[in-house]
Structure 1
Amino acid sequence: MQDQPFLDRLMNDISRHLPADLGRLRQEVEHSVRAVLNETMTRLDLISREEFEIQQQVLERTRAKLEALEKQVAELEGDAAPAAAGRGAPDQG
């Protein structure tokens, strides 16, 4: 993923720090820096903010379902415990 606005802002910052009297060399430096930054961003294997937020929502839903299932299992275990205790002792009648 390439975050073009970020890359453009970064390039503007870099360009501001380059001497203005470099002429053609300035353009070559900017081109080379942009190429290196593009390659670096690609290698980082970043995701977009939108993808991150979608995954965050999926995680929140999964967590809510897990909590509901844990509660359900605890209730079922609670119901099963008294029944098991009642069957465990033989009648002495």
Structure 2
Amino acid sequence: MFNPQHLDGIVKQVLDAIPAEVGQAPEQFKAQVKAKIQQALHEMDLVTREEFEIQQQVLAKTRAKLDTLEAKLAAFEQATEATTSSGEQSV
């Protein structure tokens, strides 16, 4: 789901933020930082841009269908009211 190159970039940024006097981070520390970041990203339940855009399109189509159905329902309700009103007047 998450591009490993992006993850490596994030790890590098985190390690670069550590003060120079701390010294070079050992490989084990780098691996732990990478694992923690990976875990945090996984827990965020992120989606890819492509998945997001697909869902955006689905939502737009659903909204359009809903608008159409609401308009049809309003027209049906008006027609029903008109029929009911004219039926009551003739009785």
Question: Could you state the TM-score of these two structures normalised by the residue count of structure 1?
Answer: 0.77
Identity %, equivalent residues: 30
Partner of 2:79: 79
The Cα RMSD (Å) is: 2.1
Tell me which stretches of 4 or more aligned residues in structure 1 moved more than 6 Å.
Answer: none
- Contact 2:11–2:37 under 8 Å retained in 1: no
Amino acid across the alignment from 2:12: N
Partner of 2:26: 26
SS in 2 for 1:89: helix
The answer for unaligned runs of 5 or more in structure 2 is: none
- Contact 2:11–2:34 under 8 Å retained in 1: yes
For 1:51-70, list aligned pairs within 5 A: 51-70=51-70
Matched residue count: 89
Distance 2:88 2:17 in 1: 82
Distance 1:90 1:17 in 2: 84
Distance 1:82 1:12 in 2: 71
Amino acid across the alignment from 1:87: G
Partner of 1:11: 11
Partner of 1:38: 38
The answer for unaligned runs of 5 or more in structure 1 is: none
Kindly name which structure, 1 or 2, has the bigger radius of gyration based on alpha carbons: 1
- Cα drift, residue 27 of structure 1: 1.9
Distance 1:82 1:69 in 2: 20
- Contact 2:11–2:30 under 8 Å retained in 1: yes
Distance 1:82 1:29 in 2: 76
- Cα drift, residue 15 of structure 1: 2.8
